[in-house]
């Protein structure tokens, strides 16, 4: 086991000391010139940076510090995690995008529903091996209406045989494993019933992963095809038919810290944009006025996220209502902001630059940031689905 002495984690109980230690540690730990390397070196360089960064975090015990100590984590408190992400944003560290599912969605699912054998094997794989996971939830015919998914898993003896297609799996082309939702009982009365939750080894015969060419000139998302893929029965998570319920646990992991990190990075970007534009586009009084209108909105989303984190501090499974408002405030705000920065730069903002991955919505190419903002207005519940949720569940308006 790696010694944690003299690393930030070893002083995490003292929040001020933890912050100081992170500020001391981060400059040497962040992969050098990572922005340039990725811009010039494309996908292979991106993967190198992600792996280096993950190794640095893992060696310092920080990658999985938010996990329970029983599973190799450090029981890092929510307040310490908040500091961690603030400091990452402040230091301009790359986001560990390749490992989001490995570090959050998979373990959250395992802690709640995994068997001891599953936990031992898969948590350890992430913690010490940096194994990459992806999600296999959405389908071409099941986006906002996820519960209508059709991918079929049929039990045959000790295995399930899977046929169907998944889509929008981030990092699927680099992942070893997939969190897979598939229908085990097509005769169930409600569409939410009859869905089961599996661990699928993507190296299994019959699996085809195909990257989707995106308007951003990248391929973060993938289609995954399943053609008579055999999954051992021991890879079922929870009970057969419990998949929908378990998926809620997986998806609620996205609340809180992941959005906090993005919001903090936007607040950083606002200050940087103010600096960058001072002698150029901010001299235009119209652009300047529009720019200042974003200040209160960014402070408002920060205040809303702070409230969400306060609720999660009280109850790690709470905050449902506030999390919904956070998402519906954040997506449109981000999209408005990056649309504004793109347009404020005039023709300069139309020049294509090679993709800058894992920089948050602060890549240096505003149009790329604009395109990526759809990741918050479509994925994880589109704006329109969130508006149905707010108006029907929270405000009591009748269903259409």
The binding site for another protein (CB under 8 A) comprises 270-271, 274-275, 278, 282, 289, 291-293, 295-297, 299-304, 306-307, 322, 325, 328-329, 384, 386-392, 394-400
Taking the least distance from each CB to another protein, the nearer of 246 and 308 is 308
Integer Cα distance of 153 and 230 in angstroms: 9
Residue 81 CB, nearest approach to another protein (Å): 20
Taking the least distance from each CB to another protein, the nearer of 97 and 390 is 390
Question: 254 an active-site residue?
Answer: yes
Taking the alpha carbons of 295, 297, 303, 306 in that order, is the dihedral positive or negative? Answer: negative
What are the residue ranges of helices labelled H in 278-348? Answer: 285-314, 320-344
Integer Cα distance of 186 and 26 in angstroms: 51
Residue 384 CB, nearest approach to another protein (Å): 7
What are the residue ranges of helices labelled H in 213-284? Answer: 243-252, 257-277
How far are the Cα atoms of 24, 31, 218 from residue 55, in angstroms, in the given order? Answer: 18, 10, 24
Integer Cα distance of 389 and 322 in angstroms: 12
Taking the least distance from each CB to another protein, the nearer of 171 and 362 is 362
Residue 393 CB, nearest approach to another protein (Å): 10
Taking the least distance from each CB to another protein, the nearer of 5 and 395 is 395
Residue 399 CB, nearest approach to another protein (Å): 6
Integer Cα distance of 359 and 341 in angstroms: 16
DSSP 75-131: ---HHHHHHHHHHHHHHTPPP-GGGHIIIIIHHHHHHHH--HHHIIIIIHHHHHH--
Q: Which of 254, 261, 264, 311 is the catalytic position?
A: 254
Contact predicate 231/160, CB 8 Å: yes
Taking the least distance from each CB to another protein, the nearer of 289 and 351 is 289
Taking the least distance from each CB to another protein, the nearer of 189 and 271 is 271
φ/ψ of 165, rounded to 5, equals -145, 135
Q: Give the residue from 92, 98, 97 showing the smallest Cα distance to 362.
A: 92
Residue 9 CB, nearest approach to another protein (Å): 29
Q: What is the dihedral of CA 333, 338, 344, 346, to 10 degrees?
A: -150
Integer Cα distance of 270 and 290 in angstroms: 13
Residue 321 CB, nearest approach to another protein (Å): 9
Active site residues: 254
């Amino acid at each position: 086991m790696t010694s944690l002495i003299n690393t930030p984690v070893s002083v995490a109980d003292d929040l001020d000391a933890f912050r100081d230690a992170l500020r001391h540690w981060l400059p040497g730990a962040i992969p050098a010139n990572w922005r340039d390397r990725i811009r010039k070196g494309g996908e292979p360089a991106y993967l190198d940076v992600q792996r280096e960064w993950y190794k640095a975090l893992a060696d310092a015990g920080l990658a999985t510090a938010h996990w329970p100590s029983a599973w190799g984590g450090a029981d890092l408190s929510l307040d310490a995690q908040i500091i961690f992400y603030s400091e990452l944003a402040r230091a301009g560290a790359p986001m560990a995008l390749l490992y989001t599912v490995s570090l959050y969605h998979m373990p959250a699912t395992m802690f709640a529903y995994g068997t001891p054998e599953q936990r031992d094997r898969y948590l350890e794989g992430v913690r010490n091996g940096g194994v990459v996971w992806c999600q296999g939830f959405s389908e071409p015919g099941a986006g906002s209406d996820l519960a209508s998914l059709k991918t079929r898993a049929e039990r045959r003896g000790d295995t399930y045989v899977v046929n169907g297609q998944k889509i929008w799996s981030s990092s699927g082309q680099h992942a070893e494993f997939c969190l897979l939702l598939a229908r085990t009982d097509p005769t169930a009365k409600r569409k939410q019933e009859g869905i089961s939750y599996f661990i699928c080894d993507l190296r299994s015969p019959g699996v085809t992963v195909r990257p989707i060419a995106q308007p951003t000139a990248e391929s973060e998302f993938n289609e995954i095809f399943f053609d008579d893929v055999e999954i051992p029965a021991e890879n079922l998570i929870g009970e057969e038919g419990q998949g929908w319920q378990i998926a809620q646990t997986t998806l609620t992991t996205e609340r809180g810290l992941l959005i906090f990190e993005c919001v903090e990075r936007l607040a950083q970007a606002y200050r940087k944009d103010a600096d960058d534009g001072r002698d150029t586009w901010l001299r235009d009084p119209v652009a300047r006025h529009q720019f200042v209108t974003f200040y209160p909105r960014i402070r408002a989303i920060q205040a809303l996220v702070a409230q969400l984190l306060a609720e999660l501090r009280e109850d790690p499974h709470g905050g449902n209502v506030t999390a919904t408002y956070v998402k519906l405030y954040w997506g449109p705000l981000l999209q408005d902001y990056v649309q504004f920065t793109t347009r404020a730069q005039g023709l300069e903002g139309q020049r294509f630059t090679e993709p800058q991955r894992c920089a948050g919505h602060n890549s240096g190419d505003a149009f790329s940031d604009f395109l990526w903002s759809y990741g918050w207005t479509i994925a994880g519940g589109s704006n329109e689905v969130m508006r149905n949720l707010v108006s029907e569940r929270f405000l009591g308006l009748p269903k259409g």
